[in-house]
Every structure is written in structure tokens, then in C-alpha cells.
Amino acid sequence: MKLGTAQSAPGEVSTGYFTVTELPTGQPEQVPVVVVEGEESGPTVWVTGTIHGDEPTGMEVIHEFVDRIRDESLSGTVVCIPVMNPSGLRTNARTSYYDGDDPNRYFGLDGDGETPPRVQQLICDRLYEEIRANADAVISLHTSWVATYPYTIRPRVRYGDHRTKTDAVELRDRLVELVDAFGLPVVNQFSPDETVQRSLDHTLTGAAIADEIPAFTPELGGRFVVEQDVCEAAVAGLQNVLHTLEMVSEPAASATTFELPADTDLKRFVHPHTDTAGIVHYRVREGGWVDSGDVVADIVTPCGETKAQVAVDHSGYVLSRYEGVAVYENDPLLDMAVPDDESLLLHQSD
């Protein structure tokens, strides 16, 4: 397999760089590439990291994962892009600095409009063209806010005009299998309307699902720094995905103690919001369960006087506390995982 300057051969690990655009200073903008090609044929799995430049854990996971599998007997090929957003990595920022855009909202866009695509879309198009050409599965490694409990987002699958229900069921079942193999707590994607509102159908995972490629997004704890226990769990999770795809013979020993022991499926939910400005004092931590009506935060003045208490209207787990202590009206306070009564399989009109 050849990708940029990386050209693999059976039984070898190849590294190189793939040019995605040109910089105004004349140098090429490149993403690093690592290709691990097995001696036997098999699926091709893409693993990507640091599409948000302040999320370095995915990059570290890929480094450690390649070290783990480089000497194993492998059937198939693993293609790794440790840094999908080099400009964000250079500035330790979520977005790319070309136009200040979120790189993970530009995949699978229709380019037929009158306005030419921005450079970030061109970069995503060039990367995704390579992914779509040969990927049998995609794992897009992310992190969330600083205070985040690790989990994996499981996508929903639509059927209708572009996909039969039979094909959608097959894709859903494959996703369930691979996400379960990864091993972190599973949280279903936002409700369908929220997914569209947040343009999540144009993330790398969303575009791959639309193209019949099983894809999912682990959220590997908090951003800015690598949490080593989460990193180890993710490396084991990647090996277990390969084992499920019959690419390696042995699964990894479980490396995770992370769990959300719910008796029902969970989905992502941003809640609650504060209706007053002030300084937030949290009463909860990530990974904890809260019941409807529980007070999860106090909003105080800069002098420390209580202005309001913020309670939740929904029971569920705390996934993340939002960063910063200063809040304005209607600011969100928590990412939560709440019971999910919606199907993973959706008709196009849903």
C-alpha cells in the first residue's frame, strides 16, 4: 500500500508523510502516516488521532499501538494517521488556523455550491478520498473536555433512499460488535435531531457511516494531556478490534476499569444549562450518577455569595464537566449519558 511517501510491503511497518495542501511560505502541509501491513491478506483498518490539535491522546495511543503490533502476525493492514490536524497541533488548539475551522465538520460535504471550498475542506476531502478507497473500518480517536470520563460514542445508522434496511441492520450489528470489542463504556450518539443540528453527520465517523464503513469515536478522557490509564485501555481496545476482525490471533488482556453500569442503553445529552451568569462551583464529578432533581452545581458571585442552584431534570451519568468557572446565561454545565429510548436503526425520515 502507498500513501504519500509511506509505501508498505507485507510484514513491514512503513512511515512517511501525506501532503494535504501547500502553506503560504512555500512548504507543504503534511500529515504523518504509519502503515502496518500483515503478511497475510485481510481487512484494512484506519486509525486516526488528533483531528483536534489539543487532543494528543489519540496520537500517543497510535504510537504505542504500532509498537505493540509491529512484531505480531497480522492479517490485513492498519493505516494510522497520528495527527489529522497539524496546524492545530502546532498551536495546541482544537481548530485549524487556516480559517479557524473545526476540521471534524468537513467530511462528506457536497462541493457543488457556488463558493469554492475552504482549505480545511480540501484537506478533509483529500484525506477522506484515501480512507473511502480502502477502509473496512475507521476508528477516530478523540478526547473531550479536561474533566471527562472515557467512553465510546456509538453511531446511529439510517436507512431509506440511499440504504436498504437489510444493509443498515448489517452495518449496525457490525458497529455494535466493534464498539463492544473496544471495551470502553458505550454511549449512543445524540438524538437524531441533535446530531444534524451539530453537523455530526459531517464528522469523519458520520461520513464513513454514510459510505457503509463501520466507524466509531472513542472519547479518551480529557484534552491537553495524555491520561496514561486511558491510553493503555485504548491500545488494548484497538487490539481487540483487530481480533474481532480476525486480523490478530490473540485479544489483549483487559486494561480498563472504566464502566458505566447502566441497565439500559445510554445516549449523549448536554444538560443542565445555567439561567444566570456567575462563577460555577460543581458538586459532581465525571463518572458519577445523578438522579433527576439533584443539585449538580452552585452559581455564585465573585465574592462567593450564592446566586442559584442548578439541578438536573434527567437522571444519568456525568461524562464531562465543562471547562472554566465563569458562566453566562444558558451556558451548558455537563455532558451526560442518559437512558436512550431511541433506536440505533433509523428510517431516513426520522
Q: Is 80 exceeded by the pLDDT of residue 8? A: yes
Q: Tell me what pLDDT residue 136 has.
A: 98
Q: Is 70 exceeded by the pLDDT of residue 319? A: yes
Q: Tell me what pLDDT residue 257 has.
A: 83
**Angle (deg, nearest 10), helices 165-182 and 228-244:** 130
Q: Tell me what pLDDT residue 348 has.
A: 80
Parallel, antiparallel, or unpaired for β 316-321 and 334-339? antiparallel
Give buried/exposed letters for 208-239 (b at 16+ CB in 10 A, else e): bbbbebbbbbbbbbbbeebbeebbebbbbbbb
pLDDT confidence bin for 114, thresholds 50/70/90:
confident
In the chain, where does DSSP find H-type helix?
Answer: 57-69, 86-91, 119-134, 165-182, 192-197, 204-210, 228-244
309-310-316-319 Cα dihedral, nearest 10 degrees: -110
Q: Tell me what pLDDT residue 350 has.
A: 59
**Interatomic CA distance for residues 206 and 104, integer angstroms:** 10
Q: Report the range of poorest mean pLDDT among 95-99, 172-176, 240-244, 346-350.
A: 346-350
Q: Tell me what pLDDT residue 112 has.
A: 67
DSSP 150-169: -EEEEPPEEESSSS-HHHHH
Length of the chain as a residue count = 350
Domains observed in the chain: 2-244 (3.40.630.10), 266-339 (2.40.50.100)
Across the range 239-251, mean pLDDT stands at 97
Check: CB of residue 202 under 8 Å from CB of residue 125: no
Greatest Cα pair distance in the chain: 67
Q: Is 90 exceeded by the pLDDT of residue 250? A: yes
- The owner of cell 490478530 is 248
Across the range 224-235, mean pLDDT stands at 95
Q: Is 80 exceeded by the pLDDT of residue 83? A: yes
pLDDT confidence bin for 144, thresholds 50/70/90:
very high
Q: How many CB atoms lie within 10 A of CB 283?
A: 13
Kindly give, in sequence order, each residue whose CB lies less than 8 Å from that of residue 246, ignoring residues fewer than 6 positions away: 42, 75
**Interatomic CA distance for residues 8 and 37, integer angstroms:** 6
Q: Is 90 exceeded by the pLDDT of residue 113? A: no
> What are the pLDDT digits (tens) for 160-205?
988 999 999 999 999 999 999 999 999 999 999 999 999 999 999 9
**Interatomic CA distance for residues 312 and 111, integer angstroms:** 42
Q: Is 90 exceeded by the pLDDT of residue 110? A: no
Q: Is 80 exceeded by the pLDDT of residue 143? A: yes
Percent of the chain residues past pLDDT 70, beyond the cut? 99
**Interatomic CA distance for residues 52 and 83, integer angstroms:** 9
Give the three-class secondary structure for 179: helix
Q: Tell me what pLDDT residue 161 has.
A: 82
> What are the pLDDT digits (tens) for 24-53?
999 999 999 999 999 999 999 999 999 999
Give the three-class secondary structure for 108: coil
Across the range 313-342, mean pLDDT stands at 97
